[in-house]
Amino acid sequence: MTTTATPVAERSGARPQGSTPKSRKRPVSETTRQQARMGRVFISLYTALLVVFGLAPALYALVLAFTDEAGFAGFDNFIGIFNDYRFWPAVTNVASFLALWLVVQTVFVVLLALIVHQISVRWIGAVARFVYYIPGAFAGAASVMVWLFLLDPAVSPVSGLLTSMGFDSFVQTVEQGNLPWIFMIIAFWTGAGQWIVIMYGALNGINPEVIEAARVDGAGIFHTAVKVQIPLLKKWIAYMAVMCLAAGAQLFVEPRVLSQASKGVVPEDYSLNQLVYLYAFRQGDYHGSAALSIMLLVVSLLLASVFVFKGGLFDRD
């Protein structure tokens, strides 16, 4: 009677050499399936809104920018914009405002977030964050209306400060040379609070062991902030810069309200968005308006890409 020897590998359950392991799929739970379905629902709603209110208008503006009443116009609409005497002053105005705002916003938001983060008493920190966030409730025209009173020495609660700076009337306060500073202060007052809260949350996300290691190595509060915390906030700072750039490039409400309040002292074509509005609704030149809008979009995307790549916004940690 002969017996066939069973290979040791088979008896022991070992996998023969050269064989590939069979992948075993883990069973997907019903909760995971529900979460995936809800994720697709939310994505589909956002995608639909993005297409209807974002991509479709942008494509329509692109078509208008390269056409006129006679048909395809090439770059004629863009050339007409460049030759408009109002274009370059508007570019200068918006660029001056953005340069001031982005620098001041970045420096003071990060500084105030670090200060709040150092507050050890919880209720004091909570009150500080709430106070910072209050101005954000006054959005758009409402915040400008508040500043109309603050900028008028006749009724302003800081009239003494305005008078000491040589401003005796509202018209003197809103002279065109002062407007980049005024718009920067309004934008910072309105939007800095929410970014302070965001930066505070980002600081809380830093591993405490990293901070403790820096302190063990002898780093004080200043060196810990400069060498450890701020570098770890780089992505959040880049994100803030991109969002503020997008909002600031669309400067419209503030100069428009001040133009109406000052009876023309602030020009109606101060910003690029105001010029877009004038092209479309005063001159009836929708093709020129679309060309200017496309130029503003392209320049904003190029500048935003600089912050994205320099800040490593999409880099994996």
pLDDT tens digits, 88-118:
999 999 999 999 999 999 999 999 899 888 8
Side-chain-side CA neighbours of residue 17 (13 Å): 0
The more confidently predicted of residues 1 and 294 is: 294
Q: Do 37 and 132 belong together in one domain?
A: no
Looking at residue 260, what is its pLDDT?
Answer: 86
Nearest in space to 197 (alpha carbons), one of 110, 123, 100, 311? 110
Is 233 domain-assigned? yes
Q: Do 61 and 99 belong together in one domain?
A: no
Q: Do 183 and 61 belong together in one domain?
A: no
Nearest in space to 209 (alpha carbons), one of 232, 236, 239, 237? 232
Residue 86 φ/ψ, nearest 5 degrees: -90, -15
Q: Do 43 and 107 belong together in one domain?
A: no
**Total domain count, the chain:** 2
Is 270 domain-assigned? yes
Q: Do 38 and 95 belong together in one domain?
A: no
Parallel/antiparallel/unpaired status of strands 71-72 and 67-68: antiparallel
Is 7 domain-assigned? no
Q: Do 113 and 193 belong together in one domain?
A: yes
CATH number at residue 87: 1.10.3720.10
Query: Cα(314)–Cα(317) distance, rounded to whole angstroms?
Result: 9
Q: Alpha helix locations (H) across the chain?
A: 8-12, 30-50, 56-65, 76-82, 87-118, 122-133, 141-150, 159-164, 170-173, 179-204, 208-216, 221-224, 230-232, 234-249, 253-261, 272-281, 286-310
Q: Do 122 and 253 belong together in one domain?
A: yes
- Cβ–Cβ under 8 Å, residues 101 and 192: no
Is 146 domain-assigned? no
Query: Cα(10)–Cα(15) distance, rounded to whole angstroms?
Result: 8
Looking at residue 179, what is its pLDDT?
Answer: 93
Range of the domain at 52: 33-65
Is 8 domain-assigned? no
Encode 104-129: b = buried (16+ Cβ within 10 Å), e = exposed.
bbbeebbebbbebbeeeeeeebeebb
pLDDT band at 139 (very low <50, low <70, confident <90, very high): low
Q: Do 183 and 53 belong together in one domain?
A: no
CA of residue 21 relative to chain centroid, distance: 49
Q: Do 60 and 199 belong together in one domain?
A: no
The rounded radius of gyration (Å) of the Cα atoms in the chain is 29
Is 174 domain-assigned? no
Q: Do 48 and 188 belong together in one domain?
A: no
Non-local (6+) Cβ contacts of 287 within 8 A are: 64, 65, 67, 68, 73, 77
pLDDT in tens, 271-285: 999 999 999 999 999
Which secondary-structure segment (H or E) carries 67?
A: strand 67-68
Is 137 domain-assigned? yes
Q: Do 199 and 283 belong together in one domain?
A: yes
Q: Do 114 and 214 belong together in one domain?
A: yes
Terminal Cα-to-Cα distance of the chain (whole angstroms): 67
Average pLDDT over residues 150-179: 89
The model's pTM: 0.80
DSSP, res 136: G
CB neighbourhood size of 64 (10 A)? 19
Query: Cα(262)–Cα(175) distance, rounded to whole angstroms?
Result: 10
Is 285 domain-assigned? yes
pLDDT in tens, 61-92: 999 999 988 889 899 999 999 999 999 999 99
Degrees, nearest 5: CA angle 136-102-277 = 75
DSSP, res 27: P
